[in-house]
Every structure is written in C-alpha cells, then in structure tokens.
Structure 1
Amino acid sequence: MTRLKDIAKACKSKNAGPFHITLDIMFDQPALFERVRASGVVSAELIARLYGVPVGEVLFTEYPPALAWKATIPRRIASGAVGDTDVYGAQQHAPLLDIEIPD
C-alpha cells in the first residue's frame, strides 16, 4: 500500500464560508491520478468516515481535467466561533494524508 501523501501533489483544506470546509486532493501526473481513481478508494463515503459526517452531507466532486478531487463538508464549529481551533480551516487535511492506495 502507498499513502496518499507520498503520491499526491497536494492535499489541502480551506474554509468554504464560515460553516463548511473544502478538501482538495491534487495530482501532477495523470498516471498517478488514474491509479488512485481506478482503486475507488477516494470517495464521498471515505470522506464521511474520515471526518465523522453523514455521507449525505459530503459534496464530492471528481475533476479529471485537473487531476483532482474536491469534497466540501460541514464544519463542526463555525469559523471563529467559541471553541474553533482552526479559523481558516487550513489544518483539516491531515486525515487525507494517510489514505492507503493499493499498489
């Protein structure tokens, strides 16, 4: 198995307004993107499981021309609200890094 952090060009997160976070997985090599795509590992179901949200609340988009996936999920705490530990949503991509892709 190969971890996503070892083959993706970037895995990142950011706010999508104060109530949602967008997660991006991007590749710079078509062959790597296609390998991950063919595995079927990256999915709305996986994002839901990793982030503890119902799959129905995951807006999941595969975008092959950009060799990328994007998922938008609700934030548990609104950006800047009491108890928020990541105002910009920029540190929420960590669970993506250890996704295992079959060799």
Structure 2
Amino acid sequence: MKDVSTTGYYVRSKNAGPFWLTIDIFCNDRTVFDRLCKDARLAGSSIAQLLKSDETGVKVFHLDRLNVIKISLPRPVIQGSIFDRDMHGAQWACLIQERLANQ
C-alpha cells in the first residue's frame, strides 16, 4: 500500500461516540485537498454505498483551513455490543484508503 509520502494524504478512522464513526483524510497540502474534495469517490452517496450505510446518515465535511476531509456516519452496530467487530472504529480507514488507491 502507498504511504503518505507518495499519495499526499493519510486516512484515519475512529469512534465518535458509541453510535458514530468518523473517518479523517489529512492532506499534505492544498493541491491534494482540492483534488480529493472534487473526487466523486468521496461523495456522500459513494461512501454510503462502499460502507453499506444509509446515504442520509453520511456527512462529509471539507475543513479547508486544515486541509482535512471529515466523514461521519452512524455505526452499523452500537459500540461494544455483542455484534461489534471493530470496537475502536479503526478498520474503516482501510476501505477508504483502498478505494482511493485504486484509481
């Protein structure tokens, strides 16, 4: 997998409480940020389809002063429930990273 030195961005995911996940894309500079903001693969509908979530729950925020794209969505199951397979929400970043790597 490519690293931040070749892609210009870093993807991280984590819990945003027991009911929400957040995925952050940290861009090295404004050029990378602007390119990713226009990328249809990071649109709410595309993210919802990839992560098998309801599109109305997916929120995409472009934080231009920070060169960060933040994606928030409801967790598929409540954190810590018997059906939770990713207690910390860390595995979701891999799906976004792979989607961006496969152009």
- Report the TM range for the smaller structure's normalisation: 0.7 to 0.9
8 A Cα contact 1:4 1:99, kept in partner:
no
Classify 1:4/1:35 alpha carbon distance in 2 versus 1 (closer, same or farther; 3 Å). farther
Contact 1:4–1:96 under 8 Å retained in 2: no
TM-score by length of 2: 0.82
The 5 A counterparts of 1:2-81 are 6-81=6-81
Give the whole-Å Cα distance in 1 for the aligned partners of 2:80 and 2:49.
25
So what's the TM-score if we normalise by structure 1?
0.82
Contact 2:41 2:47 in 1 (8 A): no
Q: Identity of counterpart residues, as a percentage?
A: 25
How far apart in 2 are the matches of 1:24 and 1:38? 16
1:81 counterpart SS class: coil
1:87 maps to what in 2?
87
Gaps of 5+ in 1: none
1:35 positional shift: 2.1
Partners in 2 of 1:100 and 1:77 — Cα distance?
Answer: 25
Distance across 2 between alignment mates of 1:19 and 1:28 = 30
Shift of 1:4: 9.4
